Amino acid sequence: MRKVLIYGDSNSYGSAPMPALTAYPVHGRAQRWGDVMARALGDAWEVIIEGLPGRTTVHDDPIEGAYRNGLTVLPAILHSHAPIDDLVICLGANDHKMRFGLSAQDIAMGVGRLVREARASETAQRIVVVCPPPLRERGVLAEMFKGAETRCAGLADHMAEIAMREGAVFFDAGSVISVDNLDGVHWDKAAHETLGQAMAEVLRAPG
């Protein structure tokens, strides 16, 4: 059986578009893109979803908690699931929060740091980098992500360049899905379905 580990944030966890900051809607477990991908891949594959809402690439979050730093906990998660055939990293959206003030290049470099950490752990054979679709400043998350639309510019290109340099497979989720306009960050059910099907094809491909 081929083992896949998804390392992501709220969109991998399954958070749905938020109508209010006090509302935390979640898609059903069978509706997340990782679940859709697992069904498409079939019984010969095991898909493990490690999604944490608010997870960044390599940054401690001073408001939502330092434990959301994706680099800090990555080694423990990798070793707890080793050996891994395919590690899928889908992070970067939370790095666009105004509190971090990061450029698209900085965010892509954060993902590159995660790839290098995973390589050093010798737990995963293949690494796939998924760039999240561009964010929009909408709804209850507009202030938190103020300026994100500008900071998003060029992210996919930067991530593709770094993935190639680090020897990882790259996929631009923004080529097949968009964020929901309700909050400009999360994805609706249709987007999860579309991305899950697309990612199954990515994983089936050799290399």
pLDDT at 144: 98
The string of pLDDT tens digits covering residues 87-145 is 999 999 999 999 999 999 999 999 999 999 999 999 999 999 999 999 999 999 999 99
Cα 185 from Cα 44, distance rounded (Å): 32
Q: Which two tokens stand for residue 146?
A: 């103020």
Residue 167: pLDDT band (50, 70, 90) is very high
Which of 43, 36, 50 minimizes the C-alpha distance to 5?
A: 50
Which of 140, 138, 136, 134 minimizes the C-alpha distance to 18?
A: 140
Backbone angles phi, psi at 126, to 5 degrees: -130, 140
Q: How many domains does the chain have?
A: 1
Q: Can the peptide bond before residue 75 be classed as cis, meaning omega within 30 degrees of 0?
A: no
pLDDT at 160: 98
Cα 144 from Cα 149, distance rounded (Å): 12
**Domain CATH number, residue 105:** 3.40.50.1110
The string of pLDDT tens digits covering residues 28-61 is 989 999 999 999 999 999 999 999 999 999 999 9
Residue 192 pLDDT greater than 90, yes or no:
yes
Residue 206: pLDDT band (50, 70, 90) is confident
Collapsing DSSP to helix, strand or coil, 21 comes out as coil
Residue 207 pLDDT greater than 80, yes or no:
no
Quick check: 184 and 139 in contact, CB under 8 A?
Answer: yes
Structural domain boundaries enclosing 120? 2-204
pLDDT at 152: 87
Cα 65 from Cα 47, distance rounded (Å): 27
The string of pLDDT tens digits covering residues 58-77 is 999 999 999 999 999 999 99
Identity of the residue numbered 15: S
Which of 10, 1, 7 minimizes the C-alpha distance to 111?
A: 7
pLDDT at 10: 98
pLDDT at 178: 98
pTM, rounded to two decimals: 0.97
**DSSP strand E in the chain: where?**
2-8, 45-51, 84-90, 124-131, 169-172
